[in-house]
A and B are shown apart, each in its own frame.
Chain A
Amino acid sequence: MAKQYETVIGLEVHVELATKTKIFCSCSTEFGGAPNTHTCPVCTGMPGALPVLNKQVVEYAMAIGLAANCEITKVCKFDRKNYFYPDNPQNYQISQLYLPIARNGYVEIEVGDTKKKVRIHEMHMEEDAGKLVHDEWDDTSLVDYNRSGVPLVEIVSEPDMRSADEVIAYLEKLRMIIQYLGASDCKLQEGSMRADVNLSVREAGTKEFGTRTEMKNLNSFKAIARAIEGERQRQIELIEEGKEVIQETRRWDDNKESSYAMRSKEDAQDYRYFPDPDLVPIVISDEWIERIRANQPELQTEKLERYKKEYDIPQYDARIITSSKHMADIFEAAAAICGKPKKVSNWLMVETLRLLKDHNMEPEDIRFSPENLAKLVRLTEAGIINSSVAKEVFEKIFAEDIDPETYVEERGLRTVNDEGALIEVLKKVIADNPQAVEDYRGGKEKALGALVGQTMKAMKGKANPGLVNQKLKEML
Chain B
Amino acid sequence: MANKISDETIEYVGILAKLELSGEEKEKAKADMERMLDYIDTLNELDTEGVEPMSHVFPVHNVFREDVASYKDGSTDTLANAPLKKDNSFKVPKTIG
Contact = CB atoms under 8 A, between A and B. Distances in A.
Interface string A132-154: 11110001111111000000000
Given A135-B86, A268-B16, A53 B65 contact: yes
Interface stretch (B21-29, B41-49, B53-61): B53-61
A250 to B, nearest CB: 13
Given A40-B77, A132-B97, 6 more contacts: A36-B90, A37-B73, A77-B55, A142-B90, A142-B91, A280-B60
B39 interface: no
Contacts of A243: none
B74 interface: yes
A58 B89 contact: no
A86 B18 CA distance: 13
Contacts of A54: 64-67
A300 interface: no
Contact of B89 (A56, A142, A276): A142
Contacts of A140: 84, 86, 91-94
A230 interface: no
Interface string B7-19: 0000000011010
A85 interface: yes
Interface string A273-314: 001110111110000000000000000000000000000000
Contacts of A19: 67
Interface in A11-25: 19-21
Interface string A174-206: 000000000000000000000000000000000
Contact of A132 (B77, B88, B95): B95
A266 B64 CA distance: 34
A39 interface: yes
A28 B65 contact: no
B75 A39 contact: yes
Contacts of A37: 73-75, 88
Contacts of B60: 280
Interface string A257-268: 000001100101
Given A26-B69, A52-B63, A34 B74 contact: no
B79 interface: yes
A44 B80 CA distance: 12
Contacts of B6: none
Given A40-B72, A77-B55, A133-B89, A53 B95 contact: no
Interface size class of B (residues with CB under 8 A): 35 or more
B96 interface: yes
B56 A280 contact: yes
Which of B16, B67, B70, B79 has the most CB atoms of chain A within a 10 A radius of its CB? B67
A135 to B, nearest CB: 7
Contacts of A5: none
B78 A26 contact: no
A134 B89 contact: no
B63 A280 contact: yes
Given A54-B65, A270-B16, A143 B90 contact: yes
Interface of B: 15-16, 18, 55-56, 58, 60-75, 77-79, 84, 86-97
The DSSP consensus for interface residues of chain A is loop
Contact of A55 (B67, B72, B78): B67
A49 B66 CA distance: 18
A35 B75 contact: yes
Interface in A52-71: 52-56, 58
Contacts of B78: 36, 39-40, 44, 145
B96 A266 contact: yes
B69 A27 contact: yes
Nearest to A132: B95
Given A84-B18, A139-B94, A277 B55 contact: yes
Contacts of B18: 84
A359 interface: no
Given A140-B93, A142-B91, A281 B55 contact: yes
Nearest to B95: A141
Given A39-B74, A40-B72, A283-B61, A143 B92 contact: yes
Interface in A225-262: 251, 262
Nearest to A30: B69
Contacts of A56: 66-67
B6 to A, nearest CB: 16
Interface string A69-83: 000000001000010
A41 B24 CA distance: 36
Contacts of B56: 275, 277, 280-281
A26 B88 contact: no
